[in-house]
Amino acid sequence: MAEIRLLVDCKNNLGEGPVWDVREQRLYWVDSTAGEIWSCRADGNDVHTYYVPTYIGSMALREKGGAVLALASGFALYEFDTQRIEYVGNPLADQPDYRFNDGKVDRRGRFFAGSMGYDFHPLDVTIPQKPAGNGSLYRLDPDLRVTEVDTGFICFNAPCWSPDNRTFYCGDSEHKAIWAYNYDLETGQVSDKRQFVSDAGYVSTVDGATVDTDGFIWNAKVLGGRIVRYTPDGTVDRVIEVPVRNITSIMFGGPDLDILYFTSMGRPMRGIPPKEPGAGGLFAIHGLGVKGLPETRFAG
């Protein structure tokens, strides 16, 4: 039977983007709107906090040490010891209403991150049909070149790849959908976009996601307090209720990659109890009987 534990009661404003590092045996995550990077051991001990000067959408560790960041002010390289930032490109410079959000590294070491609008409102159900959106998905190659991969997002989320690298998944929290694409690992290009799952009709919506060794997709349902596991054809396989409604993102980790970590949101939101126990904390789920895949470091 699965056991859910509050691992670090960090009270993040907007906890996001957990990344398990198999080399260091540590978990990293961010507090997006506080401009903070957090880190701990598998059991939640030895907590460290690092700082950046602006919103941080996502991060990944680098082969050369430190991290690559998707900040509100663009892509950047980061040194943990000195907290030094080196900016390497900002494709959002002409879009002041958008910032970077979720991101991950493919298995060739490329960093993918998408953008979201600052005025994103997932609880606004008065709009029957959401507009396409001006957000985009970008790829940062190891040589630090930036390429626009796809467009039309309002709040980009949930990037992850199938174990065979042939399918790329990503979602949009305002569109309440996850899409699947054909993926070319050699070039980092996507094609044949199609809807994978939809949360239309639910209060909850899609947030961070990951893939397990069986090729099943796990998705955090922000506003809904649950994690859903989907088969590769989009069928609901398993639903796990969690103790906080604003769960934001998930990642397998631990020595055997069989612990499912999840981040959460602590900031008040309409319809959510302001003193919900554990809100903004880092949680761990043990005993799922499932393992995840190791995350690749950014090759640049």
Mean pLDDT of 265-292: 86
Whole-model pTM?
0.95
Q: Is 101 annotated as a binding residue?
A: yes
DSSP 65-125: SSEEEEETTEEEEEETTTTEEEEEE-TTTT-TTEEEEEEEE-TTS-EEEEEEETT--TT-T
Q: What is the pLDDT of residues 92-102, one digit of tens each?
A: 999 988 999 99
Catalytic residue among 172, 207, 212, 258: 207
Mean pLDDT of 179-205: 95
> Tokens representing 21?
């590092």
Q: Is 174 annotated as a binding residue?
A: no
Residue 38 has pLDDT above 50, yes or no: yes
Q: What is the pLDDT of residues 126-154, one digit of tens each?
A: 444 455 688 999 999 999 999 999 999 99
Share of the chain above pLDDT 90, in %: 87
Residue 288 has pLDDT above 70, yes or no: yes
Please provide the CATH number assigned to the domain covering 3-286. Answer: 2.120.10.30
256 an active-site residue?
Answer: no
Cα separation, 169 vs 264, in Å, equals 21
Residue 122 has pLDDT above 80, yes or no: no
**β-pair partners for 219:** 209, 228
Residue 201: predicted pLDDT: 83
Residue 73: predicted pLDDT: 87
| Spacing of C-alpha 246 from chain mean position | 14
Mean pLDDT of 35-53: 98
Residue 119 has pLDDT above 90, yes or no: no
> Tokens representing 247?
């769960």
Question: Where exactly are the structural domains of the chain?
Answer: 3-286
Q: Is 106 annotated as a binding residue?
A: no
Residue 3: which residues within 8 A CB-CB, separation 6 or more?
285, 286, 287
Q: Is 207 annotated as a binding residue?
A: yes
Q: List b or e across 164-189, with b for residues whose CB sees 16 or more CB atoms inside 10 angstroms.
A: eeebbbbbbbbbbbbbbbebeeeebe
> Tokens representing 42?
């598998």
